[in-house]
Structures are given as structure tokens and as C-alpha cells.
């Protein structure tokens, strides 16, 4: 790949990552918003104390084993496959951290 193609590739990956993160949060807040009787879009972008608390609770749900089990049961995904995928992402992140950002001290 030529030197001029790298910035284009990085830009494409950046846009895809940005859209993926927005989609993730929209889905996460959409789940919480249904319980509140609102829309995910409103929960994401309209300020308010009640909405702020709901956003925080939605983020903390990601770390609760009960919520993870319930989500896997509802989606029908294989827990072993999901666990292996998450473990592989963690290992990949650690490899990138050590190789791309080595300790320069």
C-alpha cells in the first residue's frame, strides 16, 4: 500500500468506528429508554437529571453478570462463543498496547 493510501484507510476505519460507537450507545440507551417510556434518541441527547441517572445505570449494566446473562438468553447467542470473542478482543487490545505504544521510559 502506498503512503497516500494509509490516511484514507485510517479515515475510513475512523468513520466506521465512530458510527459503530454511536450505534452501540443508541442501542444501549434504547433498551433503557423503553423501560422509562421514552425513545433512545431522547435519552441520548436531551439533558435531564432523570435521563442522566438512566444513562449512568445503562453504562453500569454492562458490568453486571445478571444483565449479561439476561442479554445472552434474550438474544440466543452462544455464551461460550461470545466469551471467546470478548477474550480475543482483550488479548488483541493488550498486544496493540504493548507493540504500538511501548513504554519509552
pLDDT digits (tens, 9 = 90+) for 39-94: 877 777 777 777 777 778 878 887 888 877 877 787 788 888 888 888 888 898 88
Q: What is the mean pLDDT of the chain?
A: 79
C-alpha 19/C-alpha 62 separation (Å) is 20
Dihedral sign of CA atoms 7, 11, 12, 13 in order: positive
In the predicted structure, residue 26 carries a pLDDT above the cut 60: yes
Kindly give, in sequence order, each residue whose CB lies less than 8 Å from that of residue 38, ignoring residues fewer than 6 positions away: 51
Amino acid at each position: 500500500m502506498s503512503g497516500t493510501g494509509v490516511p484514507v484507510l485510517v479515515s475510513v476505519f475512523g468513520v466506521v468506528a465512530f458510527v459503530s460507537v454511536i450505534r452501540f450507545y443508541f442501542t444501549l440507551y434504547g433498551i433503557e429508554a423503553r423501560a422509562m417510556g421514552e425513545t433512545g434518541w431522547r435519552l441520548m441527547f436531551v439533558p435531564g437529571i432523570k435521563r442522566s441517572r438512566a444513562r449512568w445505570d445503562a453504562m453500569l449494566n454492562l458490568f453486571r453478570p445478571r444483565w449479561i446473562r439476561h442479554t445472552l438468553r434474550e438474544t440466543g447467542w452462544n455464551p461460550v462463543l461470545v466469551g471467546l470473542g470478548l477474550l480475543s478482543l482483550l488479548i488483541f487490545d493488550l498486544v496493540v498496547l504493548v507493540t504500538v505504544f511501548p513504554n519509552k521510559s
